[in-house]
Amino acid sequence: MSLIEGKTGNWEVVIGLEVHAQVVSQSKLFSGAATGFGAEPNTQVSPVDAAFPGMLPVINRFCVEQAVKTGIGIEGKVNPISVFDRKNYFYADLPAGYQISQFTRPIVSGGSIALDLPEGRSRTIGVTRLHLEQDAGKSLHDQHPNLTYVDLNRAGTALMEIVSEPELRSAEEAGAYLRKLRMILRYLGTCDGNMEEGSLRCDANVSVRKPGAPLGTRCEIKNVNSIRFAMLAIDYEARRQIEMIEEGGIVKQETRLFDSARGVTRPMRSKEQAHDYRYFPDPDLLPLVLDPAEIERLRAAMPELPDRKKERFIQDYKLTSYDAGVLVSERLTADFFERVAKGRDARAAANWVTGELFGLLNRAGKGIEQSPVSADAIGALLDLIADNTVSGRTAKDVFAEMFETGKDAAAIVEAKGLRQVTDSGAIEAAVDRVIAEQPEKVAEFRAGKDKLLGYFVGQVMKATGGKANPGTLNELLKKKLSG
């Protein structure tokens, strides 16, 4: 358990997260308007989204399926009957004056998320519930000195609110929770997880207590839009609360905002008024009833999720836990790796993907889906190493060129004459030549300066244009030098 040291001793931080994940869908939860990000203001708004008089909601089947899939993915219980309630409050970008949400009967109850922590540690965090609700629009406060501009494009887009139990105990765990949840959502294709665009947002409930003491008063930090900020905000907030208590103050239950520029949290003025959401079942909608056969169909069609995949990579491919973890972090990466590894040395494939490929992709600022080298092309290169056509060292140069030009490995090897020399006669000649040219070094070696072996290897490689088969070279060199 990670504790924070205060003046009066150690403190435990208690964190619960409410994640709002925008559902990937073409149209909105209750209207046929489009959901894409970045459109001109108010161009993706139907009269339903703008809550015009007499407009009524009809639920999007696909959004329901997305929530069911996510519920299964976090090992929750999908409820055959759930109910939509109205959450009543006034806000400029909440057109109806209420948000359609699920309060008493969510679509998913319970669930859990396994955290991957440093040094291979792991913890399982309980999920209380997942429910479907509408997103609000966006208010722009900085466009005009005394007006707020309201864009309803986002209003009515489907959200999944995923609520964790207050079981997280550090900013680090909160970060790991968010990373794992995002990973699962991306695997399922139910949320793109893009925090910059706001498709994944997080509210953090933070309180502190002395270990073993009852729960302290919590503050809710609203709408944090990156994992790093969430961690910074939690850390700041925990320390703020500890300081306040240690100085004899009392933590006030309130809603706060994280100011990422200053790295602090501050009370949210618009939430000062006591809220009373007056939830009641939305009379415009009837209970959402799911056919058990439909739930089973979705369950059967679930993709393999990261935890299971990682386990399989370790088992079947004999990968290290670390490599497996890196490879499963994105479904595309895992698929890419498996395609490279198919019928080949899996550990070599893992090394090439996590080493060479990731290195070049990182430098180019590209994701794996933009890789100029396909999995099959890397596989072909690995085959050239395996059958001794090229050495591992040469292969790295070949790969760099593949990445640069998109050409395949065999063509580059042929065009540049990089095929490695395995003819022991040719290598032997080169060895003989080097030994003859460097009598002093040979004498030193023979006198016991073993380290010079590397030097000789380099010289012979140079003489063969780097194409000598390293095994043959080593063998011959050792024999001749000692002879």
Partner 1 sequence: MSIDKATVAHIAALARIRVPEADLERLAGELRKIVAWIEQLDEIDTSGVEPMASVVEMTTPQRPDEVNDGDCRDKVLANAPAASHGFFTVPKVVE
Partner 2 sequence: MSELCDLTIAQARDGLRTRRFSARELTAAHVKAMEAARGLNAFITETPERALADAARADVRIAAGDARALEGIPLAIKDLFCTEGVPTTAASHILDGFKPPYESTVTAKLWAQGAGMLGKANLDEFAMGSSNMTSYYGAVRSPWRRRGDDRPLVPGGSSGGSAAAVAARIAMAALGTDTGGSIRQPASFTGLVGMKPTYGRCSRWGIVAFASSLDQAGSLTRTVRDSAIMLRAMSGHDPKDSTSATLPVPDYEAALTGNIRGLRFGVPKEYRVEGMPAEIEKLWQTGIEWLRAAGAEPVDINLKLTKYALPTYYIIAPAEASSNLARYDGVRFGLRVEGKSIEEMYEATRAVGFGDEVKRRILVGTYVLSAGYYDAYYLKAQRVRALIAADFKRAFEKVDVILTPTAPSAAFAIGEKMDDPLAMYLNDVFTVPISLAGLPGISVPAGLSAEGLPLGLQVIGRAFDEETVLRAAESLERAANFTARPPALT
Q: Site residues (CB under 8 A) for partner 1?
A: 25-27, 31-34, 40-50, 58-64, 83-84, 90, 92, 139-141, 143-152, 257, 268-270, 273, 276, 278, 281, 283, 285-289
| Comparison of 90 and 448: residue with beta carbon closer to partner 1 | 90
Residue for token pair 């899939």: 69
Joined together, the tokens standing for residue 332 give 């595309």
| Comparison of 96 and 476: residue with beta carbon closer to partner 2 | 96
Binder of partner 2 out of 35, 65, 69, 98 (CB under 8 A): 98
Shortest Å, Cβ 178 to partner 2:
31
**What is the spatial distance between Cα 137 and Cα 153, in angstroms, rounded to a whole number?**
6
| Comparison of 139 and 424: residue with beta carbon closer to partner 2 | 139
Joined together, the tokens standing for residue 30 give 């209750």
**In this structure, are residues 207 and 18 in contact, taking their beta carbons and an 8 Å threshold?**
no
Shortest Å, Cβ 271 to partner 2:
13
Shortest Å, Cβ 105 to partner 1:
11
Range in contact with partner 2 (rule: CB under 8 A) among 54-62, 114-122, 241-249, 379-387:
54-62
- Range 138-177, binding partner 2 (CB under 8 A): 148, 150
**In this structure, are residues 152 and 93 in contact, taking their beta carbons and an 8 Å threshold?**
yes
Shortest Å, Cβ 50 to partner 2:
5
Binder of partner 2 out of 96, 183, 353, 377 (CB under 8 A): 96
50 forms part of the interface with partner 2 (CB under 8 A): yes
Shortest Å, Cβ 282 to partner 1:
9
Reduced to 3 states (helix: H, G, I; strand: E, B; else coil), residue 9 is strand
Report CA Rg, the chain: 30
- Could you say which of partner 1, partner 2, none residue 479 binds, taking C-beta under 5 to 8 angstroms by partner kind? none
| Comparison of 86 and 180: residue with beta carbon closer to partner 1 | 86
120 forms part of the interface with partner 2 (CB under 8 A): no
In this structure, the number of other CB atoms found within 10 A of the CB of residue 231 comes to 20
Binder of partner 2 out of 5, 7, 38, 54 (CB under 8 A): 54
| Comparison of 87 and 310: residue with beta carbon closer to partner 2 | 87
Of 184, 194, 201, which is closest to residue 72 (Cα–Cα)?
184
Shortest Å, Cβ 67 to partner 1:
12
Give residue 20's Cα distance to chain centre. 16
**What is the spatial distance between Cα 220 and Cα 234, in angstroms, rounded to a whole number?**
10
55 forms part of the interface with partner 2 (CB under 8 A): yes
Question: Taken in order 33, 35, 39, 40, is the CA torsion positive or negative?
Answer: positive
Residue for token pair 């070094």: 441
Q: Is 417 left (phi over 0), alpha (psi -120 to 50) or beta?
A: left
Name 318's Cβ contacts closer than 8 Å, sequence gap at least 6.
346, 347
**What is the spatial distance between Cα 339 and Cα 350, in angstroms, rounded to a whole number?**
11
In this structure, the number of other CB atoms found within 10 A of the CB of residue 355 comes to 12
Shortest Å, Cβ 289 to partner 1:
4
Q: CA-based angle 34:35:37, to the nearest 5?
A: 125
- Could you say which of partner 1, partner 2, none residue 55 binds, taking C-beta under 5 to 8 angstroms by partner kind? partner 2
| Residues written for the chain | 483
Shortest Å, Cβ 317 to partner 1:
37
**What is the spatial distance between Cα 131 and Cα 68, in angstroms, rounded to a whole number?**
10
| Comparison of 88 and 474: residue with beta carbon closer to partner 2 | 88
- Could you say which of partner 2, partner 1, none residue 98 binds, taking C-beta under 5 to 8 angstroms by partner kind? partner 2
462 forms part of the interface with partner 2 (CB under 8 A): no
58 forms part of the interface with partner 2 (CB under 8 A): yes
Residue for token pair 């399926």: 65
Binder of partner 2 out of 86, 131, 309, 310 (CB under 8 A): 86
Name 114's Cβ contacts closer than 8 Å, sequence gap at least 6.
122, 123, 124, 125, 180, 307
Q: How far is CA 230 from CA 119, 130, 193, 195, 412, in A?
A: 22, 20, 15, 11, 47
Largest Cα–Cα distance in the chain?
98
- Could you say which of partner 2, partner 1, none residue 287 binds, taking C-beta under 5 to 8 angstroms by partner kind? partner 1
- Range 267-286, binding partner 2 (CB under 8 A): 276, 278-280, 282-286
Shortest Å, Cβ 385 to partner 1:
47
95 forms part of the interface with partner 2 (CB under 8 A): yes
Shortest Å, Cβ 256 to partner 2:
20
Residues that bind partner 2 (CB under 8 A): 47, 50-59, 86, 88, 90, 92, 95-98, 148, 150, 276, 278-280, 282-286
